[in-house]
Structure 1
Amino acid sequence: MEILQAGAPGHAPADGLAGLLSPLAEPEFLRHRLGSEPVLIRGREGRFRGLFGWPQLNEALTAARTDASRIHLVRSADGVPLASCAEPVPQLSPRGRPARLRPDRLYETLGAGATLVIDGIEELHAPLRTLATALEGTLGSLVQANVYANLGGAAPGFHTHWDDHDVFILQAEGAKHWDVHPPTDDHPVGVLSTPAPPADGAATWSGELTDGDVLYLPRGWWHTVKALEGRPSLHLTLGTRLPSAGDLLRRLLAHLARHHGLVRQDLPRFATAEQAQDWYGRLREVLAEAVREPGLLERLAGQVDGGAPARPEFRLPHLPGGAPAAHPAGAP
């Protein structure tokens, strides 16, 4: 695994991928590293302090309600209910008693070895949203930021595993130990792949990510993450699912289904052997013609690689055209 020393003295969210990976040039990374091999960028301590750290996490927890779709706890790779750290919001109890976190209970649970996870934290914090949007502009795919926090000495939150998407890990505070193993299957994807776990001792890299470091892992690379005793840690993962050949084939299927009635037909399960043979022969011809059609796959690939969907942006009281909304006559 390539290990480099960060070249830039700091990092602004708008710098995006170039800022995260400096001194590795962005074109070099996109052509030769993306989707193929890990990269570790060693950065100076405090590099991400203005992006996200303990103060920003505390602010998010103070403002957030407990939402299982966003905030959860893991301990020893087994779920710990967030409800154990929550209490009803008194002033809102008539509306269904939404819950908020109780600091004392959260401290106790984290002190006992739990890890706090907040998914999609870029939706709650503007600098992270700026960084995610900049990455989306470069990679052309949706980016989600998750934060993982522990107070030191926590058991692994997850067993040795691989992700079905590429990740950029930003160690924002403290340190964690990582064991990184090469893929045991070529380009694994979601439920379609069941690669065997790596053999013991087969780590490509073992070491600590410390404050300011960035680690890039393509999908399929196995990893084990361990907290360090007495050393609280907060790290971010920026995950993105890059378009694959499977996405192209799904777009090809949709194209064929629109233009060929045969592709929409039921399988000839109860036909005679001769009728079924004829049907499958005609289907092969449709598929072969599509594959041979000049430019079709490239055109469909352009649709698959159409970029990340735009993030919602609100500018009230202005209307979409930019003009402020008109008030009804007599309104203040």
Structure 2
Amino acid sequence: MDELTSDEGECPPAGGLAGLLHPLTEPEFLRHRLGTEPVLIRGEDERFRGLFGWDDLNEILAAHRADATRTHLVRSAGGIALATCSRPVPQLAPRGRPSRLDPELLQQALAAGATLVVDGIEEMHAPLRTLVAGVERSLGALVQANLYANLGGAAQGFHTHWDDHDVLVLQTEGAKHWDLHPPTLDHPVGVLSDPPRPAEGVTSWSGELTRGDVLYLPRGWWHTVRAVPGRPSAHLTLGSRLPSAGDLLRRLLVRLAVEQPAVRRDLPRFADERTAADWYAQLRGALTDAVAEPGLLEKLAAELDEGAPARARFTLPHGIPGEAPR
């Protein structure tokens, strides 16, 4: 794995992918590094000061209600559940049963070895939303930022595992120990792949990420992540599932299902042999003609490359930009 050093100071949220990758240029990363091997970029201690830190996390936890679909406690000592760290929200009009994390109870859970996880945290923090939107424009794909925080005595939050999406890891506070293991299956894809676990003790890189560092990890790379005793840690993962050949073939099948009756028909499970043979011949012909059509696959790939879905942007009281006034 290449280990580079960035001599730039604070990383501005508007800097997007290019700001995170320095000294790599964005074109160099996209053409030669993306989807190949991990890259570690060591940064200055204050690199993410204006982006995210403990104060920002504390404000988010204080200002938002507990949402079990977003916030989790992982591998907490004593089996402490997130719900036990919450208290009902006092409210004038009862609407449901909302709760908010209790600072003392959460502190106790983290001190007992839990790791706090907040999914999609960019939706709750404007600087991160700006950064993520810039990375989305560069990659042409949806990006989600998740937060992982511990107090330095946490048990290993997750077993050694691989992700089915590419990840940029931003160490915003403290330190975390990482062991990286090469893929045991080329280009694994979600639930379709079950690669064998890496051999015990076989690592391609082992070390600590410290504040200001960025690690790029392509999908399929196994990793083991552990807390560093006595060093509270907060890191962000910017994950993106990039379009694959499988996505292209799914789009092709949708097109064929619209255009070709043979693709829409039920399987001839109860038909006589001749009828079934005719159907299979029609289906083979439809598939062969489609993949042989000049430029079709390229056109469908271009549609996949149109970019991430637009994020909601509110402009009250003026209405949606471009919408005719009512």
TM-score, normalization: structure 2? 0.96
Structure 2 letter corresponding to 1:113 = G
C-alpha root-mean-square deviation of aligned residues, in Å? 1.7
Asked whether the equivalents of residues 113 and 155 of structure 1 are also in contact (C-alpha less than 8 Å), the reply is yes
**Identity percentage of aligned residues:** 68
Shift in Å, 1:76: 6.0
The answer to whether the 8 A contact 1:77-1:157 is kept is no
Q: How far off is 1:304 after superposition?
A: 1.3
Partner in structure 1 of residue 95 of structure 2 = 95
1:4-153 paired onto structure 2 within 5 Å: 4-75=4-75, 80-91=80-91, 94-153=94-153
Work out the CA distance in 2 between the residues paired with 1:319 and 1:132: 25
User: Which residues of 2 match residues 233-312 of structure 1 at below 5 A?
Assistant: 233-312=233-312
Question: How far 1:95 sits from its partner (Å)?
Answer: 2.1
TM-superposed CA distance for 1:9, in Å, is 2.1
Q: Distance in 1 between matches of 2:74 and 2:30?
A: 33
AA matched with 1:165: H
Residues 177, 208 of structure 1: 8 Å contact kept:
yes
Q: Which runs of 5+ in 1 are unaligned?
A: 327-332
Q: 1:173, 1:128 → 2: CA distance?
A: 15
Q: Which amino acid aligns with 2:210?
A: T
Q: Deviations for 1:79-130, whole angstroms, at most 9, x for unmatched residues?
A: 7421110011122572223111111100100000000011101000000000
Name 2:156's counterpart in structure 1.
156
Structure 2 SS opposite 1:110: helix
- Give runs of aligned pairs for residues 173-252 of structure 1, distance below 5 A: 173-252=173-252
Q: Is the 8 A contact 1:76 1:158 kept in 2?
A: no
Q: Is the 8 A contact 1:6 1:23 kept in 2?
A: yes
Q: 1:64 to 1:7 in 2, by over 3 A?
A: same
Give the conservation status (yes or no) of the 8 Å contact 2:175–2:211: yes
Deviation at 1:78, TM superposition (A): 10
1: CA distance, partners of 2:254 / 2:193: 23
Q: Decide whether the 8 Å contact of 1:43 with 1:213 is kept in 2.
A: yes
> Structure 2: any 5+ residue segments left out of the alignment?
none
Kindly provide the amino acid, as one letter, of the partner of residue 64 in structure 1.
Answer: H
Q: Deviations over 1:169-197 (max 9, x none)?
A: 00000001000101111101110000111
| Residue of structure 2 in register with 1:330 after alignment | none
CA distance in 1, matches of 2:169, 2:92: 37
Q: CA deviation at 1:8?
A: 1.8
CA distance, structure 2, for counterparts of residue 79 and residue 121 of structure 1: 24
Change (3 A) 1:124 1:242: same
Q: 1:86 to 1:298 in 2, by over 3 A?
A: same
Q: Give the direction of change, closer, same or farther, for the CA distance of 1:321–1:132 in structure 2 (3 Å limit).
A: closer
Q: Residues 79 and 224 from structure 1, CA distance in 2 versus in 1: closer, same or farther, beyond 3 angstroms?
A: farther
> Structure 2: which amino acid aligns with 1:306?
E
Distance 1:78 1:191 in 2: 31
Query: Structure 1 residue 324: deviation in Å?
Result: 12
Q: CA deviation at 1:7?
A: 3.3
| Contact 2:77 2:113 (8 Å CA) reproduced | no
Q: 1:329 is matched with which residue? A: none
Shift in CA distance, 15/321, structure 1 to aligned 2, threshold 3 Å: closer
Cα–Cα, structure 1 residues 255 and 78, in superposed 2: closer, same or farther, change >3 Å? farther
Moved more, 76-85 or 303-312: 76-85
Distance 1:77 1:85 in 2: 13
- For 2:264 and 2:282, the matched residues in 1 are separated by 13
Q: For the Cα contact (< 8 Å) 1:188–1:220, is it kept in 2?
A: yes
The answer (yes or no) to whether the contact 1:13–1:128 under 8 Å persists in 2 is yes
Q: Secondary structure at the match of 1:40?
A: strand
SS at match of 2:208: strand
Aligned CA distance change for structure 1 residues 91 and 181 (closer, same or farther; 3 Å): same
More deviation, 165-174/89-98:
89-98
Q: How far did 1:153 drift?
A: 1.5
Contact 1:76 1:156 in 2 (8 A): no
Cα distance between partner residues in 1 of 2:325 and 2:220: 50
Cα distance per residue 1:178-233 (max 9 Å; x no partner): 00101111101110000111101211100000000000001110001000111000
Q: In the TM superposition, what whole-angstrom CA distance separates every residue of 1:237-269 from its partner, at most 9, and x where no partner exists?
A: 000010000000000001101111111000111
**C-alpha distance after superposition, 1:268-319 (max 9, x if no partner):** 1111222212211121111111111000000011111110011000111112
